[in-house]
Amino acid sequence: MNEVLQTIKKRRSVRKYQAKQIPAEECESLVEAGLYCPTGGNRQPVHITVVRDGDLIARLTLELKAAVARTPGNPYKKYVGAESYTVNFGAPTFMIVSANLARALTAEADCACALENIFLAARSLGIGSCWINQLGSVTADAPFQEFLRKELGFPAGNVVYGCAALGYPEGDFPEAPPRKGSSNWVE
């Protein structure tokens, strides 16, 4: 089996990380892999905010917790409200993938393609990853959006469609269980 197919089958979500940071050049390769994703109409609206400062990631957890707590009906209230919750599962690199919906009707799908590219590129380099979805649930929370813009240089008008926690796994990569999805062929 070729390496890409092997990497696809070996990728798993990792939820326990070593503190050891991934090298900056490899982080750049992950960003590049993300930005090489296909996008609707080739509009390329994807923006990737890379956060590698542990204190800032800790701030992000705190700001997110506060935003989720004050958002009525937020589906992540119990999950994010738990004392043990951190936005990154301890991963030293965190990427926020966003786009401006006004620039691309396919923004959400474009960002999902970017994230999968990042996950696969990470796995090929022995780096673990996990999609983190909670930031997209506080898009309407003004103080949180202000925090993203002011502290993380997040582009005004963009919407977060998903995030990636990235780092070396604590322990082995988990084995992929058999898939439940299906296919049907007509030849």
Among 7, 13, 18, 61, binds ligand FMN (CB under 6 A): 13
Residue 87 Cβ vs ligand FMN, minimum distance, rounded to whole Å? 9
CB of 82 to ligand FMN, least distance (A): 13
Residue 16 binds ligand FMN, judged by CB under 6 A: no
Helix (H, G, I), strand (E, B) or coil at 95: strand
For residues 37 and 110, the answer to whether their CB atoms sit within 8 Å is yes
Instruction: Kindly provide the residue ranges of all beta strands, DSSP E only, lying in 22-120, ordered along the sequence.
Output: 47-51, 93-99
Q: Which is nearer to ligand FMN, 104 or 132 (CB)?
A: 132
Between 13 and 18, CB nearer to ligand FMN: 13
Judged by CB under 6 A, the number of residues near ligand FMN is: 9
70-99: contacts with ligand FMN (CB under 6 A): none
Question: Are residues 24 and 93 in contact, defined by beta-carbon separation less than 8 angstroms?
Answer: no
Determine the Cα angle at 127 with ends 87 and 121, to 5°. 105
Between the CA of residue 35 and those of 31, 38, 41, 109, 181, what are the distances in Å?
6, 8, 15, 13, 28
Residue 74 or 134 with smaller CB distance to ligand FMN: 134
- The interface with ligand FMN within residues 115-174 (CB under 6 A) comprises 130-134
Residue among 14 and 104 whose Cβ is closer to ligand FMN:
14
